[in-house]
Structure 1
């Protein structure tokens, strides 16, 4: 039987974008590691259902809104009384040349993928520092390290996230608070699966050829990652064993940047 003392001693994690893809895999892994987990996503019926099925605390929020970022942290700390781990994972992609890139989409993408991680860490900072083993994990991308055409907002946000990670690491060190960025190559998420299908139609090739000839062309290992691969790395990064790792940019890139 779990006692009140054991519950109070359990670390608490907040995972943004936590009801699908990489975020869901990380949330499930942290739960299996013994953490109490809150997942943040847009307030939709299907997102609530995923959270309820997994016994996560669901936090409905729109990360393009400053007030929602503060309310999300308040909801988690109000429910659990603490916050030890913040995983900034939420994001989305839009593909267009710079000259045609919608300005409102640019604003929204940078807010969700760069401003929101800053705000969430700002509002959570006192709780993370009080933990003594606070952890910030910023899920970046191989596109935080390299560029590709037609993804200007996504790549700008992810490059900025690396700078934020390093600053968080320097400012949090005295409190035992670490911050690290995970940079995966293409992961087989619902978003990527849709991209593969779309590119197969527009290019007139098979989905298998899109994977091998387009997405995996720069990689040494010709296989898409699975969300659980990213979750396994996140599990270590937030663990007490990783106390000495901070400010790191952790490439899970299939050898993309080895050339």
Structure 2
């Protein structure tokens, strides 16, 4: 079946002679693999059209008989921003997340990447906040249950004092221990919307102090690296 979509390309792998497998995320959040015949030939046009870390208007054929489709052609979407080392580092983290995460994600993940590309030079983006939002979308897409209404240990809905991924959500004052530290109520109130808000523009209305950013990023990085085994450097 012939299709035309704006896809984000995050990985390219050599396949058979002159061929390549291209790995994308679709607007739905589903991952897509396309076989590109003749991709590495000298006369290939697609090798110039399809560069990693780009959104591309892609024409392809899908097949119910294979776990990959067949690439036809495409046109790269250009965004109006001056590329900086910090942009490249952030995009590299996004690509690593897509590579490490097995299976499909969701449309919020795709929409957030697209929003970031459109707003890299706006100057109002909190990149750490958007990174933890992307990480949150991975947890949501993978159906990781997080308790956001009461203490996940004792079911108490008052005196909420911390948050723990390892335990699975909010923690009350009585269940704090050496591994679960006291957290400010303001930061807890900012964590909860990350799991509920589906509009990335609203996420960027959340204000984090420098110390809150540091705590939040460390919380996510430790869980993804130490528990889920991602082994990604989340700092740039």
Higher-RCO chain (CA-CA 8 Å, sequence separation at least 6): 1
Larger Rg: 2
Instruction: Report which of the two has the higher share of strand.
Output: 2
User: TM-score under structure 2 normalisation?
Assistant: 0.27
Instruction: Report which of the two has the higher share of helix.
Output: 1
